[in-house]
Structure 1
Amino acid sequence: MPEARISWRGFTMNRRTVAMVEAAEQLYHSKFAILQGSYNAGGVDASAGTHDGGGAVDVDVRTKSAAQRVAVVKALRQVGFAAWLRTPAQGNWPYHVHAIAVGDKDLSRGAAIQVVEYHRKRNGLANRGPDDGPPGYYGMTWELYLKAHPPKEPVPDSTISLAAMEYARTHDAMTGVWGADRARVIAWAAHPRVGAITKAETVPAAGVPWHLHFQRVIRKVQLHFKLEVTGIFNTAVAGVMKRYGYKIVA
């Protein structure tokens, strides 16, 4: 199955290639200036068809130092690109880094040949010269990189709105901000570190409206933390949740 194509920073690429470039940018600690993307048949004669399919990207390094240029190549290789620094002495082009995503399903014939040359530690040019980039990454692929560096889980939303809690106290809908915030408060109350309610009490009993159930949960929270029992999510309850890392807003 072909890779899913998207438009990214004004260039057509596939999602796998974009994810790889973004990972390389994180390693380099700065965004790249893209000169050419993928699926660019006939776009640049000097590319020799390597950008006709997917997995290809050129990064502009004209204004970078020699060390920075090597660092760009290294970052791209680290995430699974066959990447080389291209210089004006090698052809009719400016300083740039040419990169082909190893294992891309949409590689053009020319790009696939360059990957083979990369694995043979060559420069991917017509002269078939020795590789002139940082060694040690010839066996890397995007999948191997992801296995060694799994994406971090997104940080859960820990913001609670006092206005939403006031609305949730008298309304049953679970949509909107009040529904989401109410669900966070109830889940927090049932967390083992809190223990104000049991897991079974995270949902109302049959026939009990959500707003009444929420009031009962808040009463149990107030009893648990020895607060004034009102059934209202007030500043005292908010103060307790702050101690657990929650952010309380108006």
Structure 2
Amino acid sequence: MPEARITWRGKQLNRRTVAMLQAAEKLAGRQFRIVQGSYNKGGVAASAGTHDGGGAVDLDATGLTAAQRKAVVLAMRQVGFAAWLRTPAQGNWPYHVHAIAVGDKDLSRGAAHQVAEYRRCKNGLADRGRDDGPPGYYGMTWEIHLKHHPVTGPVAQPPPNTSISLGAMAYARAHDSMSGVWGADRAQVLAWAAHPKVAAIGRHEVRPPAGVPWRVHFQQMTRKIQRRFGLPVTGVFDAGTASVMRRYGYTIIA
């Protein structure tokens, strides 16, 4: 079974990754600012496909001291992330912590390769340099961490994404690459349409088949949604289509 996707702090992740981040924040004693989440295929070229699937996250480290950056990387590793501090000297990017959730079921091929490199004590970059982070956690996973540090008391569950932007829907009709909140909205609409209680599209149709652009696929799926609910079949996610989602508890925003 794939991981359960959600939108958390404006980024698309899955519940396992969010639970790991929450645990790491407690260890680090600070709230992280996420600059890139998961399921962001083609979103950032410098990521080389590592964020195409689940379990991948980048955290802002530009405003942190050297000691604070090290503490964040350590906390991430302690809960089961393959995590590194990325610096401007290594590539065309600002200071950030790049992390892959070891054992995530939705890892992209690039992310899985980085986990393998991490376990070989490498830096996860193309130069295959030595790992430059705090050692001692190369075999750690979230499940091992939980075994030794069980969660006590109620766990705050991140709320599901229940708002859909009409601006995102208009953008999806004409563009293939979508990231961040708008990309999550497009994914949420298709996930809703594929839900058994809606059954407007098949579960295999939440992503376009090989060779079909995202914008074309989204228009095709919008037409299926409109046919399912007896709406004018235009392929445009319009007010009528939005009203159907409102009946299912979604909030439609501009």
Say whether the fold is shared (TM-score over 0.5). yes
Separation (CA, whole Å) in 2 of partners of 1:22 and 1:36:
16
Structure 1 residue matching 2:38: 3-state secondary structure: coil
Separation (CA, whole Å) in 2 of partners of 1:61 and 1:154:
30
TM-score between both structures, scaled by the size of structure 1: 0.61
CA shift for structure 1 position 18 = 0.4
Give the corresponding residue for 2:63: 63
Give the corresponding residue for 1:3: 3
Letter of the structure 1 residue corresponding to residue 13 of structure 2: M
TM-score between both structures, scaled by the size of structure 2: 0.60
Please list the CA deviations of residues 159-184 of structure 1 after superposition, one character each: whole Å capped at 9, or x if unmatched. Answer: xxxxxxxxxxxxxxxxxxxxxxxxxx
CA shift for structure 1 position 13 = 0.3
Letter of the structure 2 residue corresponding to residue 8 of structure 1: W
Number of aligned residue pairs: 155
In terms of Rg, which structure is larger?
Answer: 1
Does 2:101 match 1:136?
no
Please list the CA deviations of residues 54-75 of structure 1 after superposition, one character each: whole Å capped at 9, or x if unmatched. Answer: 0000000001001110100000
Separation (CA, whole Å) in 2 of partners of 1:132 and 1:40:
26
Please list the CA deviations of residues 187-236 of structure 1 after superposition, one character each: whole Å capped at 9, or x if unmatched. Answer: xxxxxxxxxxxxxxxxxxxxxxxxxxxxxxxxxxxxxxxxxxxxxxxxxx
Give the corresponding residue for 2:16: 16
Identity %: 76
Comparing 144-153 with 108-117, greater Cα deviation is found at: 144-153
Separation (CA, whole Å) in 1 of partners of 2:134 and 2:149:
21
Separation (CA, whole Å) in 2 of partners of 1:57 and 1:148:
24
Does 2:36 match 1:36?
yes
Give the corresponding residue for 1:109: 109
CA shift for structure 1 position 154 = 3.7
Letter of the structure 2 residue corresponding to residue 33 of structure 1: R
Letter of the structure 2 residue corresponding to residue 28 of structure 1: A
Give the corresponding residue for 2:161: none
Separation (CA, whole Å) in 2 of partners of 1:35 and 1:68:
17
Separation (CA, whole Å) in 1 of partners of 2:118 and 2:89:
20
Give the corresponding residue for 2:87: 87
Letter of the structure 1 residue corresponding to residue 109 of structure 2: R
Separation (CA, whole Å) in 1 of partners of 2:140 and 2:154:
26
Separation (CA, whole Å) in 2 of partners of 1:154 and 1:47:
35
Q: Which runs of 5+ in 2 are unaligned?
A: 156-254
Structure 2 residue matching 1:112: 3-state secondary structure: helix
List structure 1 segments (4+ residues) > 4 angstroms apart after TM superposition: none
Letter of the structure 1 residue corresponding to residue 62 of structure 2: R
Q: Which runs of 5+ in 1 are unaligned?
A: 156-250
Separation (CA, whole Å) in 1 of partners of 2:67 and 2:133:
12
Structure 1 residue matching 2:12: 3-state secondary structure: strand
CA shift for structure 1 position 153 = 2.8
